[in-house]
Amino acid sequence: SGRSTVVHCSPSTSTSSAKPSALSGSMFFQAGVQVVSSIFSMIQSAVILFMMAGFLHLAVLVLAGGKGFERTFRVYSYGRAIDVLELIPVAGFLGAAFYRIYLHFLGFRTAHSLSDGQAAGIAVLPITLWLGFILFLIGLAVVIVLLV
């Protein structure tokens, strides 16, 4: 009642037709692309970090005069450090967004001696601009659909 079947395979019956040299060449190419992509991503992140800090510093200068770009850069950088929370699905993104606003609020108020209102205005500025940009894109899409 308990029958077992034994299957024998020999190394010579391999069905693989890939040549080792072709396979290793494509693997090296893929590894090279990933290294270049990682380097480009780090450079891009640094450029965006400086640009956003510069934009926020401009807002600080307009509202209160500010105490130097370095302070603004530090506040923005420390606020972005909580991006690791975005690894948590859905709730992480929302939690990180609100906590980032709170950190920017405290940082700008302390680093530049701003009033609560000024610090709050600068802290919500990036999200306000992103939401405005998204609404602009939605409006543009609606106009394009209506014209077609």
Categorize the per-residue pLDDT at 67 as very low, low, confident or very high, splitting at 50, 70 and 90. Answer: confident
Lowest mean pLDDT among 5-14, 58-67, 134-143: 5-14
Percent of all residues in the chain with a pLDDT value above 90, rounded to a whole number = 64
Mean of pLDDT over the chain: 86
Distance CA 63, CA 108 (A): 12
> How large is the average pLDDT for residues 52-76?
91
> How large is the average pLDDT for residues 39-64?
93
pLDDT of 4 reads 58
Query: pTM score > 0.85 for this model?
Result: no
> How large is the average pLDDT for residues 109-124?
93
131: pLDDT strictly greater than 80: yes
Say how many C-beta atoms besides its own lie within 10 A of residue 138's C-beta: 10
More confident residue, 90 or 144: 144
pLDDT of 2 reads 57
Phi, psi for residue 17 in degrees, rounded to 5: -110, 5
More confident residue, 22 or 108: 108
Which structure tokens are listed for 26? 């494509």
In 65-90, alpha helices (H) = 69-80
Contacts of 120 (CB under 8 A, 6+ apart): 105
pLDDT of 110 reads 94
